[in-house]
Amino acid sequence: MELEIDVNRIQELAEQRKDANWAFRCFLKSSDLSCGRIDSKVHELYREVSSRIDCTQCANCCTVVQPLLRLTDVKRIARHLKLGVDEFRSRYLRADGEEEGEVFRLLPCPFLKENRCAVYDCRPADCRSFPHLHKREFVFRVSQAFSNCRICPIAFNVYEELKRAFWRHRLRD
């Protein structure tokens, strides 16, 4: 399997394939493939692709994604930085208008230093989980994966391989 890792190229390809990707999303949601079979393939592809991509060569997620921080994340990072929770919040965070939690005030992430996370060992749960391909019930989160294809080389390559695995006949059309 040949991987695409250039973020600019990935964004181009994701835009070019937007309609096909949406159609594949619809296919997965309405197919008779079991959630278990889909999850198994996604997890297999995620392990394979993520083992071949060095996230520190990209760090695009840290420049464009706003992770949602829960109170446990805030306390953990504040403690690591030797700051009080209120001081940490006033320096780095703002309330998220859509969900319960907080997000960083600015992008890129204030803790991104030379494509590495300066608070890696205590990073937010959202960051630990990104691009969320290890989770169960992929078919119910396929819209999120579809969005992450523009951002993350791992998500992009897993989605492309998933199309090849389950939608081969459509790719020839």
List average pLDDT for each run of 10 residues in the chain, which is 173 residues long: 95 95 92 94 98 95 95 97 98 87 95 96 97 94 90 97 83 46
Which pLDDT score, from 0 to 100, does residue 170 have?
54
Residue 23 vs residues 15, 18, 115, 142, 147: alpha-carbon distances, Å: 14, 9, 34, 12, 14
Please state, in angstroms and rounded to a whole number, the distance separating the CA atoms of residues 17 and 23.
10
What was the pLDDT predicted at 173?
Answer: 41
**Predicted structure pTM score:** 0.91
- Please tell me the predicted confidence (pLDDT) of residue 1: 87
Q: What is the pLDDT of residues 71-108, one digit of tens each?
A: 999 999 999 999 999 999 999 999 987 778 899 999 99
